[in-house]
């Protein structure tokens, strides 16, 4: 009974941006749960390289190169997946970028690029796979949000605006598609140790210290922490979970913060 809840045999899962980091962790666990996993990336060489890593863990992935922000490439890509693998049952809209630039220094084109990939692209890909899910009265869409879906922070305005929008887009997809048997949810990772956060994760970097003190679990998350949440949301166990963002953040969102040596336990 319990294993059946998380058994994804016979399901086709598409993970965008799945050649490393959080996307790979999601693809790996969905594959280990029995799904036929399709990994997308924008660069062919990275897709070839990741196949070996997946295979080492016993997961044979199908790979496809397309830019998630280009609607014609997404349309052609999904058509190829439907033809060669099968209709998409599970979509993980994981691909994303970040640019850490103060608003006053950020060229509008760069702002648009971040929003295009982090917000418009999940719209494009979900809109392309949803009709088949609706026809089959089943489907799981998981949008990779962020704690920046609810928090701002200096220098990540485009990213936070996109991830905030992605939270509400997730809720709207739920409003329109839940009645057809689709479950649409988000995952909001906290600070996770990947290439994306490498620049701010070096020991001694002030930001690394901030994350360690602001995160009650007192550690950076691992991509696998997020992959487990994706497995849950992709499984039967989450069939009545809809329009939610599941934060995988070690408690950081729940925590106002503290300073060493504070003495607030006073009458």
Q: Which residues bind ligand GCO (CB under 6 A)?
A: 98, 100, 146-148, 153, 156, 159, 189-191, 196-197, 200
| Beta pairing partners, 144 | 187
Q: How far is the CB of 188 from ligand GCO (least distance, A)?
A: 7
| Beta pairing partners, 184 | 141
Shorter beta-carbon distance to ligand NAP: residue 20 or 178: 20
Question: Is there binding between residue 94 and ligand NAP (CB under 6 A)?
Answer: yes
* Total residues at interface with ligand NAP (CB under 6 A): 29
* Interaction partner, residue 183 (ligand NAP, ligand GCO, none; CB < 5-8 Å by kind): none
Sheet with 139-144, strands from edge to edge, namely 62-65, 36-41, 12-15, 90-93, 139-144, 182-189, 245-248
Question: Is there binding between residue 227 and ligand NAP (CB under 6 A)?
Answer: no
- Among positions 12, 38, 67, 141, the unique one binding ligand NAP when judged by CB under 6 A: 67
Neighbours of 83 (CB within 10 A): 8
CA atoms within 13 A on the CB side of 61: 35
- Among positions 27, 96, 227, 250, the unique one binding ligand NAP when judged by CB under 6 A: 96
Distance CA 248, CA 233 (A): 12
- Classify residue 119 by its DSSP letter: I
Question: Is there binding between residue 21 and ligand NAP (CB under 6 A)?
Answer: yes
Q: What is the DSSP string of 71-113?
A: HHHHHHHHHHHHHHT---SEEEE---------GGG--HHHHHH
What does the block give as tokens for 210? 């901030």
In the set 54, 159, 191, 247, the catalytic residue is 159
What does the block give as tokens for 227? 């992959």
- Among positions 117, 120, 129, 169, the unique one binding ligand NAP when judged by CB under 6 A: 117
Q: How far is the CB of 159 from ligand GCO (least distance, A)?
A: 6
Question: Is there binding between residue 149 and ligand NAP (CB under 6 A)?
Answer: no
Neighbours of 202 (CB within 10 A): 9
258 among known catalytic residues? no
Q: How far is the CB of 165 from ligand GCO (least distance, A)?
A: 14
* Chain residues that interact with ligand NAP, rule: CB under 6 A: 16-17, 19-23, 40-43, 46, 67-69, 94-97, 117, 144, 146, 189, 191-192, 194-197
Could you list the active site residues? 159
């Amino acid at each position: 009974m319990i294993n059946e809840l998380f058994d994804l045999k016979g399901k086709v899962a598409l993970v965008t941006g799945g050649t490393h980091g959080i996307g790979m962790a999601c693809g790996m666990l969905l594959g280990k749960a029995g799904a036929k996993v399709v990994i997308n990336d924008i660069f062919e060489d990275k897709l070839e390289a990741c196949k070996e890593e997946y295979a080492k863990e016993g997961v044979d992935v199908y790979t496809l190169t397309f830019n998630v922000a280009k609607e014609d490439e997404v349309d052609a890509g999904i058509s190829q997946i439907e033809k060669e693998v099968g209709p998409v049952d599970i979509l993980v809209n994981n691909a994303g970028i970040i640019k850490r630039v103060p608003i006053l220094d950020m060229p509008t084109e760069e702002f648009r690029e971040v929003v295009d990939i982090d917000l418009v692209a999940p719209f494009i890909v979900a809109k392309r796979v949803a009709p088949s899910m609706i026809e089959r009265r089943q489907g799981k869409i998981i949008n990779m949000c962020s704690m920046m879906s609810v928090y701002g922070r200096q220098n990540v305005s485009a990213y936070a605006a996109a991830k905030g929008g992605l939270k509400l887009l997730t809720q709207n997809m739920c409003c329109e598609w839940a009645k057809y048997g689709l479950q649409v949810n988000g995952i909001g990772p906290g600070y996770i140790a990947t290439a994306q956060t490498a620049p701010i994760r070096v020991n001694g970097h002030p930001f690394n210290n901030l994350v360690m003190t602001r995160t009650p679990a007192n550690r950076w998350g691992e991509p696998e922490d997020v992959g487990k949440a994706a497995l849950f949301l992709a499984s039967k166990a989450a069939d009545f979970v809809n329009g939610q963002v599941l934060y995988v953040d070690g408690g950081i969102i729940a925590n106002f913060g503290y300073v060493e040596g504070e003495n607030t336990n006073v009458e």
